Amino acid sequence: MDPSETELMLKGYGLTTAEFTYHMPDFAHVLNTFVWQDYDLAPDHPRLLSFIDFWKEEIEGPLRHVRFSHRKMMSSGEWRHVVGEFHLN
């Protein structure tokens, strides 16, 4: 079973968004874009690099460039257990 997004964030993962620009297989002069998102570990980005390897092996459109950003959403020190909640009218 895959871990939840919250579990990944507590383990130090952050959201990585990558924009792939690639040449269309049948029209080499035409560029297209593809956006990919997944939770990944900075600074090595193993999931992003794995996806790039997959693209190079399985997808016919050759990559022109990849642009990405990474945002760590929370760390284990920022997580706290809340026991109750008060509502004020």
pLDDT in tens, the chain (89 residues): 888 888 888 888 899 999 999 999 899 899 999 999 999 998 899 999 999 999 999 999 999 999 999 988 765 566 566 666 665 65
Q: What is the pLDDT of residue 53?
A: 96
For residue 81, being part of any structural domain is answered with no
For residue 82, being part of any structural domain is answered with no
The whole domain housing 40 covers: 5-75
For residue 56, being part of any structural domain is answered with yes
Q: What is the pLDDT of residue 11?
A: 86
For residue 52, being part of any structural domain is answered with yes
pTM of the model: 0.76
Task: With H, G, I as helix, E, B as strand and everything else as coil, classify residue 71.
Answer: strand
Quote the number of domains for the chain. 1
**Alpha-carbon distance values, 46 to 6, 13, 25 (Å):** 19, 11, 27
d(CA 71, CA 18): 12
Q: What is the pLDDT of residue 82?
A: 66
Q: What is the pLDDT of residue 85?
A: 61
